[in-house]
Amino acid sequence: MIPVILAGGTGSRLWPLSRKNFPKQLMPVLGGEFSLLQETVKRVRKLPEVQSMVVVTNEKYRFIVASQLQAIGVDSARIVLEPMGRSTAPAAAVGAILAQREGGDQNVLLLPADHHIHNVESFLASISGATKYTEDGGLVTLGIVPDNPETGYGYIKRGVAVPDSMGQGYFIDHFVEKPDSERACEYVSSGDYYWNSGMFLFKAESYLQELEKFEPEMVNCCRSAVEKACVDLDFLRLDKDEFERCPEDSIDYAVMEKTLKGIVVPLDCGWSDVGSWSSLYEVRDKDSRQNVRIGDVILEDSNNCYFHSSGRLVAGVGLDNIAVVESKDAVLVIPLDRVQDVKKIFSRLKTESRREYESHTKVYRPWGNYESIDDGERYQVKRIIVYPGQSLSLQKHFHRAEHWIVVKGTAVVTHDEEEMVLTEDQSTYIPLGSVHRLKNPGKVDLELIEVQTGSYLGEDDIVRLEDVYGRTK
């Protein structure tokens, strides 16, 4: 079995924690030290059938994904880079094609990277049990047993039971879009409907054959994109021209709603897609007044609230059913029953080209990260962390000069033809137009303060002359 994990979404409904350049699947939004992606990978590695896996993501997230996989000891994953998003049906096709290349007609387990599962043993047992349906060409989806009339999910209506399944699998009658409250209540009370989880299991060849019936051009484009793909460091880059020609569609619309081989297997495991602040509220521990408090939070006379502080003290008095989420550069205040509307704010930020749409004050790079501390007219101050053994690109700037002060660790600085070693409390000045590079030769993080001055301080004022990560911009 090869898990194909989809890790390219933006998570717009969890703004301001989730941003375009650092979305929810890469964050530990449930607390603890592991991101949702890491939790997903750790979960499926418990399946004895799993020897390798495929993670599908994009250019922006590639180094973060690679770093997070390495942090949990996963070095056998194939990280596939999509040049542009084409939804889940093409991603599943790419995964199936790669699975065939690695080991014939294997089972493919298609999973989003951003879900939470409370009862992992139940989840694993359902996956193992569902493999019996794929042997005969069945395309299985895991249907979540609903515990409330949720209007934020699509539903799947089950048909007749699969022969000899003992009630563990049903042929799919049809899929239903997100219902209103009245219809959702009808679905749940009937016992014949499940939430559409977006998790699928099938033989690679079975999926490709069914997809070819309904979307032959999609299969052709995906095969060509894989055949013409190039290996770049630890990544497999799909061919841009071929993948760009690929039709865009979800696996639900492209295959599952049309095929006669669809089977739904009920799954009752404490599942959440962690798609909104209300869903996070449901899965987090609560105090005696049913409040979720994360970080430095003080509440008085407040009930049924979700408060999240990323750093500053956040206080509330006399509140009910409210979510307050604080990050270093933005604060969201919204009723918990309107959290789906966060995506409207996200869209406005995008339309207005606000930085808060793109990224946090802390930005991750393959060599480490940097965080903006202060800025003003013609200056900017950053805290830079360089991981052990890593280095920035050999570069220059046309509009800014830089002053580096080492706070912790040891730095090797290239400055035009000169190379110098700086330790704690030492500094150097990089004039405008000077060719320079920063390395960490040590075994601990290098931390320094960078003061930029100049007429333009945008991140696009950079000319890379040499880069160990293959970046050109």
- Contact status, residue 434 vs residue 416, Cβ threshold 8 Å: yes
pLDDT mean over 335-344: 94
Question: What are the extents of the domains in the chain?
Answer: 2-272, 278-345, 362-466
How high is the pLDDT of residue 58? Answer: 93
Q: In which region does residue 329 sit, left (phi positive, over 0), alpha (psi from -120 to 50) or beta (all else)? A: alpha
- Domain 362-466 bears CATH identifier 2.60.40.10: no
The rounded distance, in Å, linking the Cα atoms of 256 and 219 is: 15
Give residue-wise pLDDT tens across range 285-308.
999 999 999 999 999 999 999 999
Cis peptide before 3 (omega within 30 of 0): no
- In the chain, what percentage of residues exceed pLDDT 90? 88
How high is the pLDDT of residue 233? Answer: 82
Judged by average pLDDT, the poorest of 96-105, 113-122, 342-351, 374-383 is: 96-105
The vertex-209 CA angle with 103 and 130, nearest 5°, equals 65
- Contact status, residue 203 vs residue 107, Cβ threshold 8 Å: yes
The vertex-79 CA angle with 77 and 85, nearest 5°, equals 145
Q: What is the DSSP string of 325-371?
A: EE-SS-EEEEEGGGGGGHHHHHHHHHHTT-HHHH--SEEEETTEEEE
pLDDT mean over 49-61: 92
Residue 18: phi, psi to the nearest 5? -90, 130
The rounded distance, in Å, linking the Cα atoms of 186 and 27 is: 36
pLDDT of residue 345 exceeding 90, the answer is yes
> Where are any strands of DSSP class E within 123-162?
139-144, 155-161
Residue 410: phi, psi to the nearest 5? -125, 135
The vertex-206 CA angle with 205 and 207, nearest 5°, equals 90
Strand 262-267 with 400-408, pairing:
unpaired
The vertex-203 CA angle with 43 and 52, nearest 5°, equals 40
pLDDT, mean over the chain:
94
Q: Residue type at 243?
A: F
Residue 435: exposure state from Cβ atoms within 10 A (0-12, 13-18, ≥19) = middle
Give residue-wise pLDDT tens across range 180-221.
999 999 999 999 999 999 999 999 999 999 999 999 999 999
pLDDT of residue 120 exceeding 70, the answer is yes
Strand 306-309 with 271-272, pairing:
unpaired
The rounded distance, in Å, linking the Cα atoms of 76 and 31 is: 26
- Integer distance in angstroms from the first to the last C-alpha of the chain? 37
Return the exposure string of 206-227: e unless at least 16 CB atoms fall within 10 Å of the residue's CB, then b.
Answer: bbbebbeebbeebbebbebbbe
H-type helices in 135-264, by residue range?
A: 181-190, 204-214, 216-227, 240-244, 251
pLDDT of residue 9 exceeding 90, the answer is no
The rounded distance, in Å, linking the Cα atoms of 26 and 30 is: 11
The rounded distance, in Å, linking the Cα atoms of 464 and 371 is: 21
pLDDT of residue 167 exceeding 70, the answer is no
- Token pair recorded at residue 315: 């206080």
How high is the pLDDT of residue 45? Answer: 95
How many C-alpha atoms does 471 have within 13 Å on its Cβ side? Answer: 19
* Confidence bin at 378 (pLDDT 50/70/90): very high
pLDDT of residue 166 exceeding 80, the answer is no
CATH class of 2-272: alpha beta
pLDDT of residue 104 exceeding 80, the answer is no
How high is the pLDDT of residue 102? Answer: 83
pLDDT of residue 152 exceeding 70, the answer is yes
pLDDT of residue 473 exceeding 80, the answer is no
- From residue 123, give the alpha-carbon distance in Å to each of 89, 117, 164, 191, 428: 23, 8, 21, 20, 55
pLDDT of residue 105 exceeding 90, the answer is no
pLDDT of residue 164 exceeding 90, the answer is no
* Confidence bin at 11 (pLDDT 50/70/90): confident
How high is the pLDDT of residue 51? Answer: 85
**In sequence order, which residues have a C-beta less than 8 Å from that of residue 195 and are 6 or more positions away?**
143, 144, 145, 146, 150, 153, 154, 155, 156, 271
Q: Residue type at 407?
A: V
